Copies of this chain bind each other. A is one copy, B any other.
Amino acid sequence: GIATIDIKADEVGIVELCRDRQLPLHTFPSQLLRTISVPNPSAIVDAEVGTPSVAEAAALSAAKSQTLLVPKQIFRFPIENFDSQLEIQNQKGAVTIAIASSAQEYSDRTGKLLLVGTGPGELNQITPAASSAISSADAVIGYSLYIQLIDSLLQPHQIIEALPITQERQRAQRAIELANRGLTVAVVSSGDCGIYGMAGLVLEELHSQGWDGATPNVEIFPGISALQAAASRVGTPLMHDFCAISLSDLLTPWEAIEKRLVAAAAADFVTAIYNPRSQTRVQQLTIAKDIFLKYRHPNTPVAIVRSAYRQDEQIHLTTLEKLLDVPVDMLTTVLIGNQSTRTHANWMITPRGYFGTM
């Protein structure tokens, strides 16, 4: 790109050169340029335009660099009658050029962040919009297991960054970094990226970086969430008012989670429990069960679904009372019915309303 002082923003020679070569033109106000430390400042230039350096300061500013590759050089048509620095500067056809090297490769494209929910993982359950977003991206970033599940959508030329599950914030920051360089970056989450997924984290990060809401451009592609995938495999448990509660207390005080469990149980919401158990978190599901037993019948139908739509799918229909008899891990979603939910021939059915009887 080419950089100069803002009073040159409409100079025909510069504008036409940039247009011809498809180079971006950055212009900076003198107030900003005069803050840049340069090897060859000029008092004459300072007196003229309000900064001791134009070429060197603008090059360093645009490149976001502290080091010049080439210090300022004055190029001019071979005209004889000049006798002062000032005259050179004012001479028609004279141009002062300096070159700085940017740490980042130049791109004329505006970066994009495509925040993509890939659903349960089976290709048949990923929306075409989400599939296209993944295939069209320059880079795809996600937790390695979910990247594997969408392997067939990936393209040979793509940058693929499959990171461990713990490094969620790093994934978000890396995605934003690549988008800021002009790349189109797909950030994938299983389920719906906006439900306990990566989309929220990327927007949080953008917000903390003072994002203007437009550059990089953000588009969100919803996906079939874990609670929907689980529900569709066992029947229609979610036919009446429902809620989703994550039992992970890494980022939320347990008191807040417990308050929600009580509210959900007392107000008879069908309840989907995310993150019911991890290797270090084993007691929370027991507490949840005990809370629900205060408000619901022990025979309330419960579905425990692990890896819905995946090869290792496991489905158990059980009851609130016997909930803990079924193995549960971090890939499992637990669905607790409301007071009207019934089991019929291996199907879990929540009626639409409260007035009828099923």
Contact = CB atoms under 8 A, between A and B. Distances in A.
Interface of A: 119, 122-129, 132, 192, 194-197, 199-201, 203-204, 207-208, 211-214, 218, 220-225, 228-229, 231-233, 235-246, 250-253, 256-257, 259-260, 262-264, 266-269, 342, 344-347, 349-356, 358
A356 to B, nearest CB: 7
B346 A213 contact: yes
Nearest to A196: B239
A263 to B, nearest CB: 4
9 contacts: A192-B228, A194-B228, A194-B235, A195-B228, A199-B236, A200-B239, A201-B352, A204-B351, A213-B345
B245 A241 contact: yes
Nearest to A266: B263
Contact of A224 (B122, B127, B241): B127
Given A124-B128, A244-B241, A260 B252 contact: no
A307 to B, nearest CB: 15
A125 to B, nearest CB: 5
A244 B242 contact: yes
A221 to B, nearest CB: 7
B129 A127 contact: no
Contact of A200 (B213, B236, B262): B236
Contacts of A207: 342, 344, 347, 349, 358
A12 to B, nearest CB: 35
Nearest to A265: B263
A251 B355 contact: yes
A82 to B, nearest CB: 50
Contacts of A268: 256, 259-260
A194 B214 CA distance: 35
A356 B228 CA distance: 29
Contacts of A354: 251-253, 256
B236 A203 contact: yes
A296 to B, nearest CB: 14
A203 B129 contact: no
Contacts of A125: 127-129, 222
Given A200-B349, A269-B260, A195 B243 contact: no
Contact of A128 (B126, B246, B352): B126
A122 B263 CA distance: 36
Given A200-B351, A240-B246, A264-B267, 17 more contacts: A122-B129, A123-B128, A125-B127, A194-B231, A194-B232, A194-B237, A196-B352, A203-B235, A203-B236, A207-B347, A220-B233, A241-B257, A242-B243, A243-B243, A250-B353, A253-B354, A259-B268
